């Protein structure tokens, strides 16, 4: 849904929509992308995408 770099450009943060953590990890493995830390959230302010 949304990705961005840290200020020092050493880390990438991505916002994904998935039913659960295991689903996200499986998708990341299939796509060969890292999913080192997953932090579940209940809701997102729609204004973040404006």
How far apart are the C-alpha atoms of 44 and 10, rounded to whole Å?
Answer: 25
Place of tokens 């499986």: 26
- pTM score of the predicted model: 0.66
How high is the pLDDT of residue 49?
65
How high is the pLDDT of residue 12?
87
- Whether the per-residue pLDDT at 50 is higher than 70: the answer is no
How high is the pLDDT of residue 26?
95
- pLDDT tens profile 2-48: 788 999 999 888 888 889 999 999 999 999 988 889 988 887 777 76
């Amino acid at each position: 849904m949304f990705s961005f770099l840290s200020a020092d450009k050493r880390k990438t943060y991505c916002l994904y929509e998935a039913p659960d953590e295991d689903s996200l990890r499986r998708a990341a493995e299939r796509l060969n992308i890292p999913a080192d830390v997953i932090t579940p959230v209940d809701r997102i302010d729609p204004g973040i995408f404006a």
